[in-house]
């Protein structure tokens, strides 16, 4: 996203149903694969945006973050829960030669021209047996104006993403589509948007409170299943992978 989009997201990501639902699912995944029992664990979020995930990640270890946009990075740093540096994928990651126990790339890969090189860079920054958590948008046939507005390069299918991770030396331990319960409604609404409106403000603003509460409750239900089961379809893909020792 551009600077204006990040500024709009900053006003909504703490409350918006999509961000809240994704954080609930992320918490469920971390509780299983990286329970908060090791204060020495080092965590890196790549492409942290306004830092909406950083308070959650900081509960699982010592948090670091990377963000390219200056104003956005300042908002993330202002949360005072992580060390936030300027950087980008694949060849602009900061923090010297430091390797991390856990790296999160949450809706980041779709913004990178060379996602294979980005995966290799993430692999190289993981400790042996380190955990990578990735989320990306699913299905090329869902491409729409929101992807263009967000400056996406692609959407993904789960098998091809798993294959890409394996090519750079990462073994997938869990994979699933998610945002599944709302999938039929979201697909229909997304197609309707193509004809009715293409407003950046509308795309990123919080819906009316009753609607936002209902959507949040439905999306957060998926945390009860993820990562215990894998959904066969959904608007997004979540993958956990470990660096081969």
Burial 219-242 (b: 16+ CB within 10 A, else e): bbebbebbbeeebeebbbbbbbbb
Which element (helix H / strand E) includes 193?
A: helix 183-196
Per-residue pLDDT of the chain (245 residues; tens, 9 = 90+): 566 667 667 778 889 999 999 999 999 999 999 998 778 999 999 999 999 999 999 999 999 999 999 999 999 999 999 999 999 999 999 999 999 999 999 999 999 999 999 999 999 999 999 999 999 999 999 998 888 888 999 999 999 999 999 999 999 999 999 999 999 998 887 766 666 555 656 667 888 999 999 999 999 999 999 999 999 999 999 999 999 98
Q: Domain holding 42: CATH number?
A: 3.40.50.150
* pLDDT of the residue at 48: 96
Please tell me the total count of domains within the chain: 1
Give the position of tokens 């958590």: 133
Q: Return the biggest CA–CA distance within the chain.
A: 51
Query: Which residues on neighbouring strands pair with residue 174, listed in sequence order?
Result: 240
Summary count for the chain: helices (H), strands (E):
10, 7
- ∠ CA 21-50-145, nearest 5°, is 70
Distance CA 92, CA 141 (A): 31
Q: What is the CA radius of gyration of the chain?
A: 17
Distance CA 209, CA 203 (A): 16
Full-model pTM = 0.94
Virtual CA dihedral for 156, 159, 162, 167, nearest 10 degrees? -100
Sequence-ordered list of residues with C-beta below 8 angstroms from that of 172, at least 6 positions apart, any chain? 162, 165, 166, 239, 240, 241
Q: Which domain range does residue 57 map to?
A: 3-243
* pLDDT of the residue at 202: 67
3-state secondary structure 13-50: CCCCHHHHHHHHHHHHHHHHHCCCCCCCCEEEEECCCC
Distance CA 13, CA 19 (A): 6
Query: Which residues on neighbouring strands pair with residue 176, listed in sequence order?
Result: 238
Question: Exposed, middle or buried: residue 3 (CB in 10 Å: 0-12, 13-18, 19+)?
Answer: exposed
């Amino acid at each position: 996203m551009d600077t204006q989009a990040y500024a709009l997201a900053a006003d909504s990501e703490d409350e918006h149903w999509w961000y809240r639902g994704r954080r609930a699912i992320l918490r469920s995944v971390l509780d299983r694969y990286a329970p908060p029992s090791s204060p020495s664990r080092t965590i890196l979020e790549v492409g942290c945006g306004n830092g909406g995930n950083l308070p959650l990640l900081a509960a699982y270890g010592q948090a670091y973050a990377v963000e390219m946009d200056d104003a956005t990075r300042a908002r993330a740093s202002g949360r005072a829960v992580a060390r936030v540096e300027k950087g980008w994928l694949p060849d602009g990651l900061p923090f010297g030669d430091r390797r991390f126990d856990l790296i999160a790339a949450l809706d980041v890969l779709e913004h990178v021209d060379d996602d294979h090189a980005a995966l290799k860079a993430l692999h190289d920054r993981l400790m042996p047996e380190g955990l990578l958590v990735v989320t990306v948008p699913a299905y090329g046939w869902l491409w729409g104006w929101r992807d263009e507005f967000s400056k996406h390069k692609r959407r993904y299918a789960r098998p091809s993403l798993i294959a890409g991770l394996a090519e750079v030396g990462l073994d997938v331990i869990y994979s699933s589509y998610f945002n599944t319960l709302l999938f039929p409604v979201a697909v229909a609404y997304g197609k309707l948007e193509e004809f009715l409106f293409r407003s950046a403000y509308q795309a990123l603003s919080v819906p009316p409170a009753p609607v936002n509460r209902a959507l949040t409750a439905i999306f957060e239900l998926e945390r009860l299943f993820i990562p215990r089961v894998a959904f066969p379809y959904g608007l997004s893909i979540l993958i956990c992978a470990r660096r081969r020792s």
